[in-house]
Structures are given as C-alpha cells and as structure tokens.
Amino acid sequence: NAGVTQTPKFRVLKTGQSMTLLCAQDMNHEYMYWYRQDPGMGLRLIHYSVGEGTTAKGEVPDGYNVSRLKKQNFLLGLESAAPSQTSVYFCASSDPGPENAQYFGPGTRLTVL
C-alpha cells in the first residue's frame, strides 16, 4: 500500500512554461484534493474532486486547472507558470464525510524562475 504518491518530487520551470503534477492514490478514496504551501504559511486548498469526472474550486484556484479522469488519479496543471506559483504542492485523498481523515502525499517542490 503506497498510499498517496506524487510525481515529480522537484521541478524548476521558467515563467510561461506549462507542466502537470500527478497525484495517485491506492486507497480507493472518492475525494481528492490539491493544496499549496508557501513558506511560513499553512496549507491552502487549490481544487478538489468528490468523484471521478468531477472537480471544484478551492480557496486559491486561479492559474491552475485540474482533471480527474480516473478515480485513482488527480492531475494539477499549470498552463503558464508564474513566479507566484513557486510553492510546495500537496495532494490528499479521503473517503466522503468529515468523519474520515485526509491522507497526504509527500509533496512536489516547484520553483518558477
């Protein structure tokens, strides 16, 4: 059981480049989430998904797009990267309902120059 995995672990982009972050979970969870964490700050929700084929905006969705084509995968895309998107990105998954914990991946450290 790998839990939640994220690819890649590190990435450096130039302003204007695009990339996709991949999150995979093997716990058969319905819900998946993308968060970002900036230095000295708590996590902020970017987008989330309550099931295959569905996505919804979180607290800071601008500049990002997501897709959930398969239940076990949740992709986060940056179409035109900006320095303000330099951050650590965490993916999480859970079963529905507030009584079920979210489990997080190890993170992707992204730097945009």
Partner 1 sequence: DAKTTQPPSMDCAEGRAANLPCNHSTISGNEYVYWYRQIHSQGPQYIIHGLKNNETNEMASLIITEDRKSSTLILPHATLRDTAVYYCIVRVSGYSTLTFGKGTMLLVSP
Taking the complex as a whole, the smallest distance from the CB of residue 89 to partner 1 amounts, in Å, to 10
Where along the sequence are the contacts to partner 1 (CB under 8 A)?
4, 31, 33, 35, 41-45, 48, 50, 58, 88, 90, 92, 94, 96-107, 109
Count how many residues are written for the chain: 113
Q: By C-beta, is 55 or 105 nearer to partner 1?
A: 105
Distance CA 61, CA 15 (A): 18
Q: By C-beta, is 17 or 44 nearer to partner 1?
A: 44
Q: Which residue has the tokens 């320095």?
A: 83
Taking the complex as a whole, the smallest distance from the CB of residue 29 to partner 1 amounts, in Å, to 11
Residue 88's nearest CA partner among 70, 113, 112 is 112
Taking the complex as a whole, the smallest distance from the CB of residue 76 to partner 1 amounts, in Å, to 15
Taking the complex as a whole, the smallest distance from the CB of residue 80 to partner 1 amounts, in Å, to 26
Distances (CA, A) of 51 to 30, 57, 73, 80, 86: 5, 14, 10, 27, 28
